[in-house]
Amino acid sequence: MTKVYLSAQFPEVALTKLRDNGLDVESYTGAGLISHAELLSKVATADYLITTLSTMVDQEIIDAAPKLKLIANFGAGFNNIDSAYAKSKGIPVTNTPKVSTNAVAELTISLILDLSHRVIEGDQQMRTTGFPGWAPLYFLGHEIAGKTLGIVGLGNIGQEVARKATALGMTVTYFTPHQLSPEAEQQLNVTYQPFDALVKSSDFISINAPLTPETKHQFDAAVLGEMKATACLINVGRGPIIDETALLKALQNNEIGGAALDVYENEPNVDQAFTQLKNVVLTPHIGNATVEARNAMADIVASNVVLMAQGQTPKYVVNA
C-alpha cells in the first residue's frame, strides 16, 4: 500500500483526504519536533513525505528514502528542504503559498498595534504590580494613524499588510528588488523607496521578505543604526534576516523604539535576553496559526499527494 509519512501532527483535513483516497498514513506523534534520526528511519519506506518548515529535509534524509516521490512542505517557505538535491533525484518539492496571506498580515498589524499601545506590557503589569489608577501621563503610547510604515518585501503578504495599514491611516512605503508598476503602486497606495531611505524615514518597518543570500542579516548593526530612535522593527518574515545580536544591543541601549518578533534567527531557540526587555513583543511563530489558514494549508499538501498518487502533476512545485 502507498505510504504517506507526516513529520508532525496535522489538521484532520489532511488525514481525512489522504485516507479517503486509499493512502496509508502514518504521523509523528511524539513530544516536540521530530528528530533527524527518527525522520531518517521513517522515510525509509515512505512514498510521500509531508513535512513542516521546522523540520530539515537534507541530502541524508532524501538519500534514506529510495521510494520517495514527493516532498510536500506545510508552509509558504521551503528553505528547510534541499530542494535542488531533491530535483536531482527527480523528487518535486511543493509548498503552500497564498492561503496564509491574510493571517500573517493580520498578525503583522496586531504587532504594530501592540507595540504602539503597549498592550502586552500593560497586560504584564496588570498581572504583576497592578494598576495604580488613571492619570494623564500614565502608560502613554502612540497612535499609528499618520505614521509611516516601511514594508520590506511586497509579495502577497506585504501587499495585504499595505492594504490593512492604509485602511488604518498609515502612510505606506516599500522596498523590494523589483519595483511595482505605477498602476500597481497607485492601486495599493504605496510609494517605493530605496532600502536605505526606507530605513531612515519609517516609524515602523515590517519585514515580509523571504530568506535569501541577499536578505540574510539585511538588518545588521549598521542598518539598525540608521533607523529613527523611536522606530519599531517587526519581523514576520524569516528570523535570519535580522542579526539578532545587533538587534538585542540596539534595544538594550534604546537605539530604536522597539521590536516585535514572530520568527527567530536560531529558531526555535530564542536569546532569553529578549524576554527581559519591555520594548519587545515576542510570539512563537504564529503568523499563520489560524484554523482557517492551517486547514487550507493541510488541504493543499494532502491534495498534492493525492494528485501524485493518481499520476497527475502536483500544484505549487518550487523546484521544477
Q: Which residues are annotated as catalytic?
A: 238, 267, 285
187 Cβ contact list (under 8 Å, min separation 6): none
Is-contact 242 235, C-beta < 8 A?
yes
Q: Per residue in 23-41, is it b (16+ CB within 10 Å) or e — as a string?
A: bebebbeeeebbeeeebee
Instruction: Give the pairing type, strands 70-74 and 48-52.
Output: parallel
Q: Output the CA torsion sign for 175, 181, 182, 187.
A: negative
Query: Three-class SS of residue 6?
Result: strand
No. of helices (H) and no. of strands (E), the chain: 12, 12
268: preceding bond cis by omega (within 30 degrees): yes
Q: Could you count the other beta carbons within 10 Å of the beta carbon of residue 198?
A: 21
Is-contact 95 316, C-beta < 8 A?
yes
Q: Output the CA torsion sign for 26, 73, 16, 48.
A: negative
Q: Where are the beta strands (DSSP E) in the chain?
A: 3-6, 24-27, 48-52, 70-74, 93-94, 148-152, 171-175, 190-192, 204-207, 232-235, 258-261, 280-282
How far is Cα 247 from Cα 291, in angstroms, rounded to an integer? 32
- CA 35-31-52 angle, 5° bins: 55
Residue type, 194: P
